[in-house]
Chains A and B, each alone.
Chain A
Amino acid sequence: MSEKKLAIIATKGTLDWAYPPFILASTAAALGYETQIFFTFYGLQLLKKNMNLAVSPLGNPGMPMPMAMDKWFPVIGTAIPGMQAIMTSMMKAKMKKKGVASVEDLRSLCVEAEVKLVACQMTVDLFDMSSDEFIDGIDYAGAATFFEFAGESDINLFV
């Protein structure tokens, strides 16, 4: 099999949006793709040693809510203090029950499969983040580096 390449840009830092980049990258690696993920803006949260990701029902009409809360308290219901924490723990419990891997596990599988993880240096600086906060073995680079890989990739995804 000739080696195909997949380039992904990860820009979201919530629990739900952490899944697509890691699921696609780990699966692509299993299929023999050489894979790279470029993390920028809120996507940098996915490179933290301690991810502590949350999912918010606020401003997300597509999110299923327990007890039809979204119908009884539209918007207001999702803005109740503590709702984000509740929805996050419910989502995590549901994922565990359904045999969905944790984000941490999927990220480890990516690292194990030699998916290259690149942090956008500009946004790391912008948010005053430090490399101490991130997992080891990642690269720090900019847009030109992304294009070096993306330009010769078969698939490019923006998440």
Chain B
Amino acid sequence: MTEFNQKLDASGLNCPLPILKARKQLNSLETGEVLYVVATDSGSVKDFDAFCKQTGHNLLDSSEADGKYHYYIKKA
């Protein structure tokens, strides 16, 4: 289990809401802090990867378990 500073539950939300909410919450974090996101949108796997590549945030971990997707994003 990766450590994190804040958690975002984006379960039940569809594109582009998980990304938009994650972006918003990342704004309230300090550089180096980690946001843990839980989502149920299967499209979010590629989207969080693309989001992090384009914004420079570090996607520490991306995994799937029991129909839920888990992301750990370290703020750049």
Contact = CB atoms under 8 A, between A and B. Distances in A.
Binding partners A and B:
yes
Interface of A: 1, 23, 26-27, 30-32, 98-101, 109
Interface in B11-50: 12-17, 19-20, 23, 40-41
Given A23-B15, A32-B55, 16 more contacts: A1-B54, A23-B16, A27-B20, A30-B19, A30-B20, A30-B51, A31-B54, A99-B12, A99-B14, A99-B17, A99-B40, A99-B41, A101-B13, A101-B14, A101-B17, A109-B20
The DSSP consensus for interface residues of chain A is loop
A102 B16 CA distance: 11
A27 B19 CA distance: 7
Nearest to A98: B14
B76 to A, nearest CB: 9
B17 A30 contact: no
Contact of A100 (B14, B19, B23): B14
A101 B20 CA distance: 11
Contacts of B55: 1, 31-32
Nearest to A25: B16
Contacts of A26: 16, 20
Interface residues of B, number: 15
17 contacts: A1-B54, A1-B55, A1-B56, A23-B15, A27-B19, A30-B23, A30-B51, A31-B54, A31-B55, A98-B14, A99-B14, A99-B40, A100-B14, A101-B14, A101-B16, A101-B17, A109-B20
A109 B16 CA distance: 11
B53 to A, nearest CB: 10
Contacts of A1: 54-56
Nearest to A23: B16
A27 B48 CA distance: 12
A30 B15 CA distance: 13
Q: Top 6 closest A-B pairs, CB basis?
A: A30-B23, A99-B14, A27-B16, A99-B12, A99-B13, A100-B14
A22 to B, nearest CB: 9
Nearest to A4: B54
